[in-house]
Amino acid sequence: MLVREARKRPDSWAELERGIRHRWTLPWHAVDFAFQWTAYLLSRWALLEVLEYLGILSVLFAVIFYYSEAGDRKKQKHYQAWQVIDTAQGKGGNGGRIEALQELNADGVALVGVDLSGAFLQGLELRGAKLARADLEAADLRHSILEGSDLEYAQLKSANFRSGSLRSVNLLQADLEDADLVGASLMGANLANANLRNADLRNADLTGIRWQEIKAINSANVQGVRNAPEGFIAWALQHGAVSVRGDGE
């Protein structure tokens, strides 16, 4: 904001001319004289002061409108993110879905029932996401982080979670048949009534999992699982799981 102050009336040309020692500087003094009088006259013009205040008010109104429309901009951003997800539905590849999903989750938007089947989502980070009943069948989620997410009743058949983090994930009633969980962290995961038939659990971290109510584990590979709860390996083998080394082991 400009600070306006009353300007002193400039000297007349006659007074100014008497103080000039060198005549060759006269043109420069004449220009300065003109500017001084222009500034003086404009400083007395009320219209300029009014325009200055109007300029300040316009900035203030712009700030108010910007924040008042923040909700609409967020809705538009979410709409565009869902468009990206819906347009790529049923297709392989990424299609911008990683960024769209992360953006929605960061804003607390529920992703319940989202269809991401067959999607390429390596490195996806969705901490605490609401993914109940989501369809991730055959999705590539290697190195992804889904810590603390709710995947209750989710379709995860043939999904690839290699080296991913599923810590404290709710997998109640989730279908993990044929899922690749090699090297994944399932620390503290809830596997109650989950289907792990033919799942590959080699080298997975099973610290503190809720396993006593697993629905099915026959043909699942438990070779080299880490930190398995007491009694889990014996129970799994009794219920049809196997312990077989992979080709590269």
Q: Are residues 56 and 149 in the same domain?
A: no
Residue that finishes a domain, picked among 47, 67, 87? 67
The pLDDT score that the predictor gives to residue 45 is: 65
DSSP states of 118-143 as a string?
T-B-TT-B-TT-B-TT-B-TT-B-TT
Count Cβ atoms below 10 Å from residue 143 Cβ, excluding itself: 18
At 124-180, the pLDDT tens digits run 999 999 999 999 999 999 999 999 999 999 999 999 999 999 999 999 999 999 999
**pLDDT score for 166:** 98
Last residue of a domain, one of 32, 49, 67: 67
Q: Is 58 found in the same domain as 41?
A: yes
Average pLDDT over residues 48-53: 68
Do 50 and 113 fall within a single domain?
A: no
CB 188, CB 208: distance < 8 Å? yes
148 and 242 inside one domain: yes
* pLDDT tens string 2-12: 555 566 777 77
Cβ contacts of 173 within 8 Å, gap of 6 or more = 152, 153, 192, 193, 194, 215
CATH of residue 105: 2.160.20.80
**How many domains are there within the chain?**
2
DSSP readout, 206-218?
A: -TT-B-TT-SB-T
* Residue 185 and residue 228 in one domain: yes
Q: Which residue, among 172, 171, 178, 167, has the nearest Cα to 227 in the 3D structure?
A: 167
Min mean pLDDT across 25-39, 178-192, 207-221, 222-236 is at: 25-39
Same domain, 35 and 113: no
Does pLDDT of 244 surpass 90?
yes
- 29 and 87 in a single domain? The answer is no
Determine the 3-state secondary structure of 165 from DSSP.
strand
Q: Is the pTM above the cut of 0.75? A: no
* Structural domain harbouring 44: 13-67
Q: How far apart are CA 213 and CA 196, in angstroms?
A: 11
pLDDT of residue 153: 98
Domain assignment of residue 180, yes or no: yes
Between 38 and 161, whose confidence is greater?
161
Q: How large is the average pLDDT for residues 84-108?
A: 88
Same domain assignment for residues 36 and 108: no
The residues facing 194 across adjacent strands are: none
Nearest-angstrom CA–CA distance, 53 and 35:
24
Least confident of 20-24, 169-173, 200-204, 215-219: 20-24
The per-residue pLDDT for 7 is 67
Q: Which of 67, 98, 113 is the last residue of a domain?
A: 67
